[in-house]
With several copies, the nearest count.
Chain A
Amino acid sequence: MEINTTTYKRCDLITVTGRIDSATAPQLSDTLNALMEEGRFRFVLDLSGTTFLSSAGLRVLINTQKNCKRYNRGEVVLACVPPNIHAALDLSGFVPLFRFFNDVITAVGNI
């Protein structure tokens, strides 16, 4: 898994490439926690290059979403979610808990 972070005035764009499983989810969690400790709570997660997402990754997503939405201070939105991963999010009941965007620009523009 590779994580790329781009910080904009408005939000952070987190691009995750490869697998998000029990081996790699802690790294994603660390990245997001470090940003939240700096007071950043608006995240666009670009999953276009994510090939796999297990419940370990789902746990990071839900924890981060809870933390961001608290005090109305931010939000995690998901961009470019591949069909397999969307199916996993759907089965987990996560679809109503996140906003989804088909491309990164729209996500960054609407967060």
Chain B
Amino acid sequence: MEISNSSTPPTTVTQVFPGRCSSLEKIAEFVRTAAQQAGLDDFATYQVETAVDEACSNIIEHAYQNTEGEIICTCREEIDRLIITLQDQGQPFDGSNIPEPDLCCDLESRSNHGLGLYFMRKWMDEVRFEYDPALGNKLTMIKRKEK
């Protein structure tokens, strides 16, 4: 399913993906295309792709815990920003209170976890978690266009 309206902002495209790791590449392509069409440069596009990949990986692993489920991905281009929303019906989750990982330089004591949310926060301009018992989790991530 792909819904798209006019070609000048605001433009909205939505696609539904099975909540499986094998969807990640297709989700990346979908989001990359939207970011490019929104005029983001290569690095900003890569940042968006990373944030979405991390968010979807968490949905698959933590929210659905590797059981069946869907991820609804919407990319909305506004004049000055790209807004990505990811919706799932998995376990409710609010990432806002999860602390930043400790990026100490000592190899042995470095944790190998906690980078996903960190990438999302650092590389997107806004990250918002919402939960609605009827609609499920809704994660909104915003990338502003360069002025």
A and B touch in the complex (CB under 8 A): yes
Chain A residues near B (Cβ < 8 Å): 19, 21-23, 52, 54-56, 58-59, 62-63, 65-66, 69, 83-84, 87-88, 91-93, 96-97
Q: Can you identify 29 A-B contacts, CB atoms within 8 angstroms? A: A19-B24, A21-B53, A22-B21, A22-B53, A22-B57, A22-B61, A23-B22, A52-B28, A52-B49, A54-B50, A54-B57, A54-B119, A55-B54, A55-B57, A55-B115, A55-B116, A55-B119, A62-B107, A66-B110, A69-B107, A84-B42, A84-B46, A87-B43, A87-B46, A91-B123, A92-B103, A93-B104, A93-B110, A97-B105
Q: Chain B contact residues (Cβ within 8 angstroms of A): what range?
A: 20 to 34
Count contacts between A and B, CB distance < 8 Å.
74
Contact between chains at A84 and B43 (CB < 8 Å): yes
Contact between chains at B24 and A22 (CB < 8 Å): yes
- Chain B residues contacting A66 (CB-CB under 8 Å) are 107-108, 110
The DSSP consensus for interface residues of chain B is helix
Chain B residues near A (Cβ < 8 Å): 21-22, 24-25, 28, 42-43, 46, 49-50, 53-54, 57, 60-61, 103-105, 107-108, 110, 112-113, 115-116, 118-119, 122-123
